[in-house]
Amino acid sequence: MTENLLLAFGLTLFAGLATGIGSILAFFTSRTNTKFLSISLGFSAGVMIYVSMIEIFFKAKVALVDSLGNVAGNWLTVGGFFAGMLLIAMIDKFIPKQGNPHELKKVEDMNSTGLGTKQPDLLKMGMFTALAIGIHNFPEGIATFTAALNDPGLGIAIAVAIAIHNIPEGIAVSVPVYFATGDKKKAFKLSFLSGLSEPVGAIVAWLFLMPFLNDVMFGIIFAAVAGIMVFISLDELLPAAKRYDETHLSIYGLIAGMAVMAISLLLFI
């Protein structure tokens, strides 16, 4: 259990700090690699959708049916699934539009505004985006932590998928801040800090959920996690991937993500 706990914290830290990778990539390129982002975002969505519907939802259903019976267990599983969707939808609703981390942002678009011109709008965009990502990553940290605690293999898969989708979020923070201030350190720091809410989510889950983590609580959390991940994939990852897309690369990435996830799950049978 102790080993799983350390792994769970480590995976949430890894997934959250991937925003820093996006920030670094933005500093060392003059153009956005739209093909890479489209495939990566599609791949991440494929992993999330497949693992949510095939593995996480099923595990939640088994735990709740075994504990509460067939009727109550199935109803609570479905209820938890849509409650997770509602939670992440409400978080999205209260995020300021200008801080949406999944709006298309390219390095060359920001560069055309002029480096270090002290533009308050660009700086505000970066600050809002960092805040939005921080809010968004909090439930993702809980999802990664609880999954890794119960099934390390599943936790690794979720952490990798979330890390991939955090890379363009890091770009979304650092690029406007960098081109508004000309300060790479400040841009990187904001991008880096926005990802720290992921391990904070894990700490909150450990402090407040662990004492109550029986089969029923586990089932409800997993059902909600499945809903959160499907919503993120359909509302954020796939639309963002399509905006970067040129030749259906996002769909190829989606299929590849599902295939990789399917094979990895089969290998653990």
What's the Cα-to-Cα distance from 221 to each of 84, 97, 102, 173, rounded to whole Å? 9, 29, 25, 30
Helices (H) and strands (E) in the chain — how many of each?
A: 13, 0
Closest CA to 139 of 98, 86, 191, 213: 86
Q: Which residues are annotated as a binding site for Zn(2+)?
A: 140, 165, 169
Q: Which residues are annotated as a binding site for Fe(2+)?
A: 137, 140, 166, 169, 198
Determine, yes or no, domain membership for 35: no
Give the per-residue pLDDT at 116.
46
Q: Which residues are annotated as a binding site?
A: 137, 140, 165-166, 169, 198
58: left (phi over 0), alpha (psi -120 to 50) or beta: alpha
pLDDT along the chain (269 residues), means of 10: 79 86 69 70 86 89 94 96 91 62 50 50 69 78 84 82 79 75 80 85 86 84 88 83 75 90 76
Give the per-residue pLDDT at 1.
54
Determine, yes or no, domain membership for 128: yes
Determine, yes or no, domain membership for 36: no
Closest CA to 77 of 215, 211, 201: 215
Determine, yes or no, domain membership for 110: yes
Closest CA to 169 of 41, 71, 269, 55: 41
- Please indicate, yes or no, whether the overall pTM of this predicted structure exceeds 0.85: no
Cβ–Cβ contacts within 10 Å for residue 86, how many?
14
Domain that holds residue 251: 2-30+47-264
Query: Number of structural domains, the chain?
Result: 1
Determine, yes or no, domain membership for 38: no
